[in-house]
Amino acid sequence: MRAVALSLRHELIGLAGVVERNVYLTRRYIYWDVAFFVWTVANTLTIVFIAEGIEATGGQIDVERATTTLLIGAVVWAYLGIIFEFLTETVAWERWEGTIEYTFMAPLSRAMHLGGSGVFAVLYGLVRAILLFIVVAAFFGLAFDDANFIAALVVLVVASISFFGIGMMTAVLPLISPEKGAQLGFVAQGMLLVVSGVYYPVDVLPQWMQWLATISPATYALEGIRAAILEGDPLSSMWPQIWPLLVIGAASIPLGLAIFNRGEVYAKRHGKLKRSG
Amino acid sequence: MRELSPVPPDALAVEARDLRKEFVRKDRKRGKRRVPALADVSLTLERGECVAILGQNGSGKSTLVRLLSTLLLPDGGSATVFGYDVVRDGKAVRRLVNRVSVEASFFKKMSPSENLHYAARFYGMTPSETTERIPMILERVGFPSDRRGEPMENLSRGMQQKVALARALLTSPVLLLLDEPTTGLDPRSKLEVQDFIREMRAEHDSTILLCTHDLDEAESLAERVGILDAGRLLALEPAADLKARFAAETLEEAFFAATGRGFEDEQDELDAEERKALA
């Protein structure tokens, strides 16, 4: 019993170590973070201006509602991008820095190693997403009199569990294919978002894409967040969005971990756990 | 760490039996084929012993180190570290082993202190433990205190290698795998690293497997010296016995007599094959 408690303690310290390392790295690369944030704000503005553009060219829409809908889509896209980037690059970054062998020969379980990356990604992603939302909303002077931000935040955090599970699946790609893995991770992220109704209702998609939308956690996250911010829906009415997110999360995390572990065995068998350059 | 992986008093530090590793090479002319990197290697290391393995580039030294540190899975044979199997009991082995390789391998933008702090967490060390131990260990390896906060990329190779030694020492490994730890260092840094290895053995009861290119280093640090050639362990005995067996005056002559090659000649083909397989 004591050994189990000691082992668990070591694992949690290791998880905190991954978070700590990413804090150090973020501090060291802070100017890059500022640059990426400015780029994301600019990119979000170009998307959100589409609503005003439609009205200016004669379209009949509720500009404020369309602006908010696009803003939510852009913020969730940016948030998801951060989660996927951190998880997919957990291996790629270590390979590039040359620390991969030291990390994989440390007595830390893969669940805690990836968990540390996931925890940091969620915290960092939330800060970036909230800041992005505030800056762009202020730019357009959007009013959110009825918005339920607490409910929106809860939906985003619950959705993060599923995003984390899927991120673990994509994290295996750079492990088994040092040269092409990271690129494939970006492709997976793009495919997930295109079917999830980021800037449009899922109903406009072809039928086969709508089917894929039902298994994408981003679909439910976007629905829930939009209902909370646009309609002011309370958390108690979000169950239709929350239960699929919990189910996808419960399935994707063990599946993601199992896939990563298989990938690690493959990498050890074929000598892929090696630094680049 | 040792509480979770207790070291049996009578267990050998390392026991490898017919250890084999092959890599797949894809070739347009000959198609896919398996290239042996390590061929049926058997060896033992007693607890507290220092054994040096000599071999050219591509002879299989790094493959042996990577198998013992659980970074590779063998294709045949077995290996144990203090009685724990490197495949079945990987986590127990990882708690007992650390490594210093030819490349210092750190996050380049992070400082020595930051790199050591996070690395120690992977071995279950808390912030209060590392805050106390890291400055002490860096001082012991002769790392200047005023440079602990500088990014690693600003440090010389010798300085980086000292931080690598500090990282290994921080986790108190009972088996230390040294893979060409002094290659590329200037003579002074090389001597400092070698002195530190002696100190670690004396004070920490560590068992050391030293893979090196440096014949003098092998002779001065190790009780036994092995010759690895094209993945085969041709000899493993005290340096004096090795020289006597091949009627050689120096280890270099003994190496030549055992392998038929000069020590500085690289095994280009195998090295290239391994690089290709690992790409």
Q: Are B114 and A24 in contact (CB under 8 A)?
A: yes
B99 in A contact zone (CB under 8 Å): yes
Nearest CB to A13; choose among B69, B72, B126: B126
What is the pTM assigned to this prediction?
Answer: 0.88
Residue A11: name the closest of B27, B77, B122, B101 by CA. B122
Whole-number pLDDT of residue B30: 75
Inspect the interface and report whether the beta carbons of B106 and A103 lie closer than 8 Å. no
Residue A104 with chain B: CB contacts under 8 Å: 70-71
Q: What are phi and psi of A205, to 5 degrees?
A: -80, 155
Whole-number pLDDT of residue B272: 46
pLDDT tens digits along B37-72: 999 999 999 999 999 999 988 899 999 999 999 999
Q: Which residue of B has its CA nearest to A97?
A: B107
Hey, how many other C-beta atoms are within 10 angstroms of the C-beta on B39? 18
In a domain, A277, yes or no: no
Inspect the interface and report whether the beta carbons of A16 and B121 lie closer than 8 Å. yes
Inspect the interface and report whether the beta carbons of B99 and A178 lie closer than 8 Å. no
Nearest CB to A105; choose among B94, B126, B278: B94
Inspect the interface and report whether the beta carbons of B126 and A6 lie closer than 8 Å. no
Mutate to test the interface with B, among A91, A262, A268 (most CBs of B within 10 A): A268
Whole-number pLDDT of residue A222: 95
Work out whether the CA dihedral B7, B9, B14, B16 comes out positive or negative: negative
Inspect the interface and report whether the beta carbons of A21 and B123 lie closer than 8 Å. no
In a domain, A39, yes or no: yes
In a domain, A274, yes or no: no
B58 in A contact zone (CB under 8 Å): no
Q: Judged by CB atoms within 8 Å, which residues 12-41 of A form the interface with B?
A: 13-14, 16-18, 20-21, 24-25, 28-29
Kindly tell me if the per-residue pLDDT of B265 is higher than 70: no
Q: What does the alpha-carbon distance between residue B220 and residue B204 come to, in Å, rounded to a whole number?
A: 19
Confidence of residue B16 (pLDDT cuts 50, 70, 90): very high
Q: Are B61 and B53 in contact (CB under 8 A)?
A: yes
Taking the CA of residue B23 and the nearest CA in chain A, the distance in Å comes to 7
Which residue blocks in chain B are alpha helix, DSSP H?
61-68, 90-96, 112-121, 127-140, 157-170, 187-204, 215-221, 239-245, 251-259, 268-278
Whole-number pLDDT of residue B34: 85
Residue B94 with chain A: CB contacts under 8 Å: 105-107
Inspect the interface and report whether the beta carbons of A107 and B122 lie closer than 8 Å. yes
In a domain, A153, yes or no: yes
B266 in A contact zone (CB under 8 Å): no
B234 in A contact zone (CB under 8 Å): no
Whole-number pLDDT of residue B87: 96
Kindly tell me if the per-residue pLDDT of B2 is higher than 80: no
Q: What does the alpha-carbon distance between residue A23 and residue A225 come to, in Å, rounded to a whole number?
A: 28
| Between A87 and B277, residue with greater pLDDT | A87
Number of domains observed in the structure of chain A: 1
Q: What does the alpha-carbon distance between residue A122 and residue A86 come to, in Å, rounded to a whole number?
A: 9
Size of interface A-B (CB pairs under 8 A): 114
Confidence of residue B268 (pLDDT cuts 50, 70, 90): very low
Q: Judged by CB atoms within 8 Å, which residues 178-237 of A form the interface with B?
A: 178-179
For chain A, 277 residues long, the average pLDDT of each consecutive 10-residue run is 87 96 94 95 95 89 93 93 87 88 94 94 95 96 92 95 90 82 78 88 94 94 95 94 95 94 94 75
Partners of B20 in beta bridges: B76
Whole-number pLDDT of residue A2: 80
Domain residue limits, chain B: 14-104+172-188+202-278
In a domain, A176, yes or no: yes
Which letter does DSSP use for residue B146 in this model?
G
Confidence of residue B96 (pLDDT cuts 50, 70, 90): very high
Inspect the interface and report whether the beta carbons of A104 and B71 lie closer than 8 Å. yes
Q: Find the farthest-apart pair of alpha carbons in chain B and give their distance in angstroms, rounded.
A: 59
ipTM of the complex: 0.88
Print the domain residue range for A94: 2-269
A46 in B contact zone (CB under 8 Å): no
**Class assignment of domain B14-104+172-188+202-278?**
alpha beta
Residue A13 with chain B: CB contacts under 8 Å: 121, 124-126
**Helix (H) or strand (E) run with residue B24 in it:** strand B14-27
End-to-end Cα, chain A, rounded Å: 44
